[in-house]
Amino acid sequence: MFFALLFVIWAWAVSVHSPEGFADVQAIMDGFFGKFVAIGTASALTYHILGGLRHVVMDLGHWEELESGNTSAKAVIALWVVLTVVLGVALW
């Protein structure tokens, strides 16, 4: 996520600087690299949010046993894969 944010911050700075900069960033985002970075960033953010929600539930005293903890981890990974595919289709 850190390296993706460097690209996002750069793209934002260039795009708000001038109409030509916006057109340049738009051209990059329409290409393979831009879409790859967008999907990768969305995927990392999705996994981070799902993992955070899982930990909040664990802080509330649920899913702390070995079996339920493993099950919740597998559920987070499965949901992350599904959401990444959905986001990938939507962003492509």
For the annotated binding site, the residues are: 48
Range of the domain at 7: 2-91
Annotated binding site for heme: 48
The Cα–Cα gap between 71 and 76 comes to 9
> What's the structural domain count of the chain?
1
8 A C-beta contact, residue 14 and residue 24: yes
**Dist. CA 25–CA 89, nearest whole Å:** 21
Instruction: Residue 10: name the closest of 41, 32, 55 by CA.
Output: 41
pLDDT of residue 1 exceeding 90: no
The pLDDT confidence band at residue 66, using thresholds 50, 70 and 90, is very high
Q: Inter-axis angle of helices 19-30 and 32-59, to 10 degrees?
A: 80
Tell me what pLDDT residue 54 has.
Answer: 98
Q: In this predicted model, what pLDDT tens digit does every residue of 18-38 receive, in sequence order?
A: 999 999 999 999 999 899 989
Q: What is the pTM of this model?
A: 0.82
CATH number at 32 reads: 1.20.1300.10
